[in-house]
Amino acid sequence: MTVVPGPDHRKLPRRRGAVLSRAIFDAVLAEIAESGYSALTMDRVAERARASKASLYRRWPGRAALVLDAAYEAMPGPDAVPNTGSLRLDTLTVMRQGARQLEGIVGQAMRGVLGEALQNPEVAAEVREFARGNAGRMMREILANAVNRGECDPDLVTDFRIEAGPALLRQRFIFGSGPIDDDFLVGVVDQVVLPLFGVDPKNNRRGT
């Protein structure tokens, strides 16, 4: 029992509460950025955050919940909803913002969270609510503006039509691998979103 005491880490200044949570989130995101979601382990997160696993499990019931929270933290606040006066440009802007988010750490984290969601209906419901309140809200708002401008018939604004564009983007994210190029987004907007809302893309091609 050769106990070489050395510096006792327990005597270092200790973080608590929100500060510690912040450090744990940072560790999760750094791990994901470095090695991806599937290589993320609770031990590695704890070590990287210089926290104990007990502290992790006091805050979250398991890995899925931890990553879900970390992913929410990593998401940029709700982007300002664009209002350019053209439904085409507004939609394209929203789609581009979404695609850009999915390319970075948030995308990596989302892949992990989605994997959990597939196995766990409660996680799935939570993710669905989040997506609905995020992309859905923005789409609804730019469509309301288009209706007010008289650019779009209000009867066409239904959940099915609203979800078509985002669904194609998400499918591309899930099944595709590389970055989502702009041609894809333009194709979705011009060939799917605008036709569904009765807008002719050709009448809207002022800026990009």
Partner DNA sequence: GCTTATAGAGAACTAGCAGTTCTCTACCTC
Partner DNA sequence: GAGGTAGAGAACTGCTAGTTCTCTATAAGC
Cα gap 203→188, rounded to integer Å? 17
| Residue of 2, 12, 80, 155 interacting with DNA (CB under 7 A) | 12
Scanning 14-22, 46-54, 76-84, 106-114 for contacts with a second copy by CB under 8 A, the matching segment is: 106-114
Cβ neighbours, 10 Å, residue 3: 5
Locate tokens 């859905």: which residue? Answer: 136
Q: What is the distance between the alpha carbons of residues 128 and 122, in angstroms, rounded to a whole number?
A: 10
The Cα 98–Cα 138 span in angstroms is: 11
| Residue 62 found at the interface with a second copy (CB under 8 A) | no
Residue 1 makes contact with DNA by CB under 7 A: no
185 and 193 Cβ atoms separated by less than 8 Å: no
User: 183 contacts which partner out of a second copy, DNA, none, CB within 5 to 8 A by kind?
Assistant: none
Return left, alpha or beta for 104; rule: phi > 0 is left, psi -120 to 50 is alpha, else beta. Answer: beta
Pick the stretch among 10-18, 30-38, 43-51, 70-78 that binds a second copy (CB under 8 A): 30-38
What does the block give as tokens for 199? Answer: 């807008």
- For residue 136, CA distances in Å to 95, 165, 199 come to 11, 10, 19
Query: Considering only residues 24-83, where is the footprint of DNA by CB under 7 A?
Result: 39-43, 50-55, 57-59, 62-63
Tell me the closest approach of the beta carbon of residue 18 to DNA, in angstroms.
Answer: 9
Looking at 26-34, 70-78, 159-167, 200-208, which segment touches a second copy (CB under 8 A)? 159-167
Q: Footprint of a second copy on this chain (CB under 8 A)?
A: 36-38, 111-112, 114-115, 117-119, 121, 124-125, 127-128, 131, 158, 160-161, 163-164, 167-168, 170-171, 174-177, 187-188, 191-192, 195-196
